[in-house]
């Protein structure tokens, strides 16, 4: 509801400021400022003093909406919408994402690590505020804005684009390099930990096996399954009919079980030929 | 009313952000306070552009926004990797480089 009020106020004020003479601050703008300014300050204080980090993020979103309205009122409509899209849309969503990843309930510790640090910080902040307010109040109290005229309303995007691609072209190019570097840096930082213990692929495993890095080339044989028993205690048989000892788990081996009768090793067990033919030297 | 009040507001918000950076211990909240300080500076840049009657201040604010976006990406990635190794997002616990 408050957002729709904001939007109505913004459209009204933009219309008012477009048709007013430059150098004049309209009454509507003053009303907007005196409503949203204290609101922004309160939300900023809430961000600093909220215990829960998610509440801090919500307060910061409110501050950024207020800033967007200020930009639009102050003849910078492009920056106002960029503020809403980039900051409240992208950056704050990123913050909330990381907050949820890190853990929503990771609230601040109340323990003061450095003694008197909070008091010192508050004193510093109040002192800095007093200095800045005093200096600004003395220096700029009766200034009349020159105003941007058309460049602040309908020609705003055109003017900013012209400036970016003429006077600030080099800085703009540097910006693209900065963005690419930041994206690469984020990728490197996000993948640095997962690369350390990455899973080995099938091909790499086979190569390592053939190179002798494992105990044996093939995986361990599984337990045998017969028509009379489907227990894992039943061992697998080797081609000659003998028990493959590796197919039995050591735990099962150590528990008392019924002895399985060992048949004589028979090289022709699978072909069905009797073993004595071999001994007679019939085929060899 | 004159645009000076915008500058006063931006100075106050900058101070609130600075106090937040000094007081809070959660790294993500510290980061949000830095964002608040950058935004406050942006507001003063926009106000200066209006007072001077040129668009240069708005272009500066635009560049500040771009740099802030890049900074947020890298900073949050650093916070995430610290959280992965130390299981904490508190600035007090990331003290390996201290001594």
Of A86, A148, A168, the CB nearest to B69: A86
CB atoms within 10 A of CB A194: 10
Question: Mind telling me how many Å the CA of A152 is from chain B's nearest CA?
Answer: 8
Q: Three-class SS of residue A237? A: strand
Query: Residue A85: what pLDDT?
Result: 93
CB contact under 8 A, B53 and A168: no
Distance from C-alpha of A208 to C-alpha of A223, rounded to nearest angstrom: 25
C-alpha angle A162-A164-A165 in degrees, rounded to nearest 5:
65
Q: What are phi and psi of A65, to 5 degrees?
A: -65, -40
What is the 8-class DSSP label of residue A45?
H
Burial zone of A197 (CB within 10 Å; 0-12 exposed, 13-18 middle, 19+ buried): exposed
Q: Which residue, among A62, A55, A12, A74, has the nearest Cα to A38 in the 3D structure?
A: A62
Tens of pLDDT along chain A (284 residues)? 455 655 555 555 555 444 445 567 788 889 999 999 999 999 999 999 898 889 999 999 999 999 999 999 998 999 999 999 999 889 999 999 998 888 755 556 666 777 888 899 999 999 999 999 888 878 776 677 787 877 777 888 999 999 999 999 999 999 999 999 999 999 888 876 555 556 778 888 888 888 888 778 887 777 776 666 667 777 788 888 788 877 777 776 677 766 767 767 766 666 766 656 555 555 44
Query: Residue A267: what pLDDT?
Result: 67
CB contact under 8 A, B4 and A53: no
Could you report the per-residue pLDDT of A32-81, keeping only the tens digit for each? 999 999 999 999 999 998 988 899 999 999 999 999 999 999 989 999 99
Give the count of alpha carbons within 13 A of B98, CB side only: 6
Give the count of alpha carbons within 13 A of A269, CB side only: 12
B95 touches chain A (CB under 8 A): no
C-alpha angle A170-B76-A115 in degrees, rounded to nearest 5:
115
Quick one: closest CA in B to A48, which residue?
Answer: B20
Query: Residue A204: what pLDDT?
Result: 86
Q: Which residues pair with A243 in a beta bridge?
A: A237
Q: Which residue, among A74, A78, A97, A98, has the nearest Cα to A86 in the 3D structure?
A: A78
Q: Three-class SS of residue B90? A: strand
B61, pLDDT greater than 70: yes
Q: Higher-confidence residue: B59 or B92? A: B59
Quick one: closest CA in A to B37, which residue?
Answer: A44
Could you report the per-residue pLDDT of B2-53, keeping only the tens digit for each? 888 899 999 999 999 999 999 988 889 999 999 999 999 999 999 999 988 8
Query: Residue A166: what pLDDT?
Result: 94
Of B14, B42, B89, the CB nearest to A106: B89
Query: Residue A284: what pLDDT?
Result: 44
Question: Mind telling me how many Å the CA of A206 is from chain B's nearest CA?
Answer: 32
Residues with Cβ within 8 Å of residue A172, at least 6 apart in sequence? A164, A165
Which residue of B6, B24, B27, B29 to mutate against A (max A Cβ within 10 Å)? Answer: B29
Residues with Cβ within 8 Å of residue A249, at least 6 apart in sequence? A223, A232
Q: Which residue, among B8, B82, B24, B45, has the nearest Cα to A57 in the 3D structure?
A: B24
> pTM of the full predicted structure?
0.70
Quick one: closest CA in A to B51, which residue?
Answer: A145
Q: pLDDT band at residue B93, thresholds of 50, 70 and 90?
A: confident
CB contact under 8 A, A90 and B56: no
Quick one: closest CA in A to B83, which residue?
Answer: A102
């Amino acid at each position: 509801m408050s957002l729709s009020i904001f939007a109505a106020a913004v459209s009204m004020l933009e219309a008012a400021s477009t048709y007013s003479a430059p150098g004049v601050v309209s009454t509507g703008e003053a009303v907007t400022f005196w409503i949203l300014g204290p609101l922004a300050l309160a939300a900023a204080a809430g961000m600093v003093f909220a215990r829960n980090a998610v509440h801090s993020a919500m307060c910061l979103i409110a501050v950024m909406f207020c800033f967007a309205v200020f930009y639009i009122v102050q003849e910078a409509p492009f920056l106002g919408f960029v503020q809403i899209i980039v900051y409240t849309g992208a950056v704050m969503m990123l913050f909330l994402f990381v907050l949820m990843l890190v853990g929503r309930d990771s609230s601040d510790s109340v323990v003061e690590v450095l003694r008197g640090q909070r008091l010192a910080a508050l004193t510093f902040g109040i002192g800095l505020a007093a200095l800045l307010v005093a200096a600004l109040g003395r220096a700029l109290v009766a200034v009349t804005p020159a105003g941007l005229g058309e460049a602040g309303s309908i020609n705003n995007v055109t003017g900013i684009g012209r400036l970016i691609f003429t006077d600030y072209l080099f800085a703009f190019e540097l910006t693209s390099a900065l963005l690419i570097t930041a994206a690469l840096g984020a990728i490197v930082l996000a993948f640095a930990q997962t690369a350390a213990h990455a899973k080995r692929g099938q091909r790499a495993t086979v190569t390592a096996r053939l190179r002798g890095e494992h105990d044996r080339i093939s995986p361990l044989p599984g337990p045998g399954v017969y028509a009379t028993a489907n227990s894992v205690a039943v061992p697998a048989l080797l081609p000659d009919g003998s028990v493959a000892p590796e197919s039995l788990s050591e735990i099962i081996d150590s528990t008392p079980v019924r002895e399985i009768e060992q048949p004589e090793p028979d090289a022709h067990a699978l072909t069905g030929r009797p073993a004595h033919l071999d001994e007679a030297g019939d085929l060899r | 009313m004159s645009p000076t009040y915008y500058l006063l507001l931006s100075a106050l918000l900058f101070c609130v952000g600075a106090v937040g950076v000094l007081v809070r211990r959660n790294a993500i909240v510290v980061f949000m306070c830095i964002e608040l300080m950058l935004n406050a500076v942006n507001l003063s840049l926009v106000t200066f552009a209006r007072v001077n009657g040129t668009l240069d201040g708005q272009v500066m604010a635009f560049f500040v926004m771009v740099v802030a976006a890049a900074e947020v990406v890298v900073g949050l990635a650093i916070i995430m990797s610290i959280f992965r190794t130390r299981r904490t997002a508190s600035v007090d616990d990331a003290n390996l480089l201290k001594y």
